[in-house]
Amino acid sequence: MATLSMKPGLRCRVSDWENSNKHISETALHRRHISHEIRQEGRALRNETANKTSWDEYDNSRRLSDRISDITRWQKSLEACAQEVDAEIDALTVAKEETERALAATVLPLEVTAECLTLREGRRGNELVSDPVEAELKKEVDVIDGAQRVLQQCIDQAFEQLCLLQEARHQLTLDLQHKVEALDVDMSCLSLTVTSPDISLKPNPTRIPSGSTTPQQWEQFSHYNVTRAKEEMQASLQLRENMSITRAQVQNELEAQRIATEFALRKRTHHLEQALQELQWQLKTTQNEITELEGDVRGLERDMQAKMAPLKLVHTRLENRTKRPGVDLCRDEVQYGLVEEAKQLDSTILALKLKLAQAQDSLQSLQHHEAQMLEDLSRKQEALALEQRSTQTRRCLTPSVQSEPLSMAVLPLTNSKGRLQLS
């Protein structure tokens, strides 16, 4: 009898086989469905992310463009403000230099005034008076000192304001440099694309760098720099106006005081010339009187000498007539006449002596007064020479005669009659 060979193992039923085939089919269908959904979702996600990436790139490029526009706007504003600050610095520097020249110009008037005061100290005797010229010269020294203090104060203020302007200009320069660098960076970023060879992945690119600011802080910083610069420029403009007004006021005060001083000096010179002429006339008259009085003294002396011979004659006659003898020693008319003549001669000689003594006293007084007048004349001439030297010294302060030689003589002030008058 033949035997059948059979594969060992557990055999499944037909129903199990059919169920297995069905499960495989259903699983394949489910997997394909899931795969289909994933593919659809992937395609949608690809489209969505592509659009999102494109729009994000576009939005950020637009933001970069707007940012570049903002930076460019502030850059132009800062550049314009910096140019205005530079112009104001130049203008204030010019004003400061003009004020320094005005201050330097007060040195010569002060030296001239001091020299005039020193010259007038050379007056002697009663010519050394505290007159209006001295008062005006001292006032002029005070005015010049005050002007120097005011001008120096303006120069100091200008220097301080220049420092503030330069500090504001430095801040503008730094801000402008930062704006230029930031503009270069943003323009470089705007020029980059996905196909640029310079792009790469960076470690932690979303980090917040230290020192970062907000847009409000960024704009407030530049606005503060511009505002501060404008405020300093306004203060500088006001200072320049004040300096200009101060220079004009100082110039007017110095000119007014110069005119007052020179008027007082001319007036004093005029009075001195008048006094000198009067003294010269008095001296000449006194000298003429001395000459005449000396002649009269000599005449009195001659007359006294001339009276001695008649006196001797009458004395001799009287003495000789005392020798008459006896009754002839008579007191006759001759005797009375001779006695009367002797008395008259004695009286005449006495009168002449008295008059001669008076004349000699008067002559001595006149001569003493002549010596005093000569001394006073010398002092007045010296004082007038000093006043004229002061006038000559001050000629360099008069703008209209600066080009004229300083050796010109000071002309006296006279009217048509030749008498000295004060104009």
The 10s digit of each residue's pLDDT in 18-59 is: 888 889 999 999 999 999 999 999 999 889 888 988 898 888
Cα–Cα dist 33/299, whole Å: 174
For the chain, state the CA radius of gyration: 62
Question: Residue 155: CB partners within 8 Å, gap ≥ 6?
Answer: 96, 99, 100, 103
pTM of the model: 0.72
Helices 14-105 and 107-120, interaxial angle, to 10°?
A: 30
Q: What is the pLDDT of residue 8?
A: 60
Amino acid symbol at 417? K
Range in 8-12, 90-94, 272-276 the model is least confident about: 8-12
The yes-or-no verdict on residue 245 having pLDDT over 60 is yes
For residue 232, what pLDDT band results from cuts at 50, 70 and 90? Answer: very high
The yes-or-no verdict on residue 407 having pLDDT over 60 is no
Six token digits for residue 145: 């000192």
Q: Where are the alpha helices (DSSP H) in 106-131?
A: 107-120
**For 310-326, what is each residue's pLDDT tens digit?**
888 888 988 888 888 88
Cα–Cα dist 101/338, whole Å: 101
Closest alpha carbon to 95 in 160, 154, 168, 165: 154
Six token digits for residue 266: 């001319």
Whole-number percent of the chain with pLDDT over 90: 59
Cα distances (angstroms) measured from residue 76 to each of 73, 188, 217 = 5, 20, 19
The yes-or-no verdict on residue 128 having pLDDT over 90 is no
Cα–Cα dist 261/127, whole Å: 19
The yes-or-no verdict on residue 359 having pLDDT over 80 is yes
Report residue 32 CA to chain centroid gap.
Answer: 100
Judge contact between 86 and 169, C-beta under 8 A: yes
Cα–Cα dist 77/227, whole Å: 11
Q: Could you tell me the end-to-end alpha-carbon distance of the chain, in angstroms, rounded to an integer?
A: 182
Judge contact between 81 and 229, C-beta under 8 A: yes
Q: How many Cβ atoms are within 10 Å of 149's Cβ, its own excluded?
A: 11
- 247 exposure class (CB count in 10 Å sphere: 0-12, 13-18, 19+): buried
Number of residues in the chain:
423
Mean pLDDT along residues 278-282: 93
The alpha carbon dihedral of 83, 87, 88, 89 has a sign of: positive
For residue 412, what pLDDT band results from cuts at 50, 70 and 90? Answer: very low
The yes-or-no verdict on residue 239 having pLDDT over 80 is yes
- 112 versus 411: the higher-pLDDT residue is 112
For residue 2, what pLDDT band results from cuts at 50, 70 and 90? Answer: low
Mean pLDDT along residues 304-312: 88
Q: What is the pLDDT of residue 400?
A: 59
**For 75-125, what is each residue's pLDDT tens digit?**
999 999 999 999 999 999 999 999 999 999 999 999 999 999 999 889 888
**For 161-193, what is each residue's pLDDT tens digit?**
999 999 999 999 999 999 999 999 989 888 888
Six token digits for residue 15: 């129903």
Six token digits for residue 325: 């003898």
Q: Where are the alpha helices (DSSP H) in 332-394?
A: 333-394
Mean pLDDT along residues 6-25: 79
Q: What is the pLDDT of residue 234?
A: 96
Six token digits for residue 397: 């302060």
Judge contact between 221 and 213, C-beta under 8 A: yes
Q: What is the pLDDT of residue 405?
A: 38
- For tokens 């006194």, name the residue: 286
Q: What is the pLDDT of residue 421?
A: 36
The yes-or-no verdict on residue 422 having pLDDT over 50 is no
Cα distances (angstroms) measured from residue 300 to each of 346, 349, 356, 365, 368 = 15, 10, 6, 18, 21
For residue 238, what pLDDT band results from cuts at 50, 70 and 90? Answer: very high
Q: How many Cβ atoms are within 10 Å of 245's Cβ, its own excluded?
A: 11
Ordered DSSP codes for 330-345 = ---HHHHHHHHHHHHH
The yes-or-no verdict on residue 349 having pLDDT over 70 is yes
411 three-class SS: coil
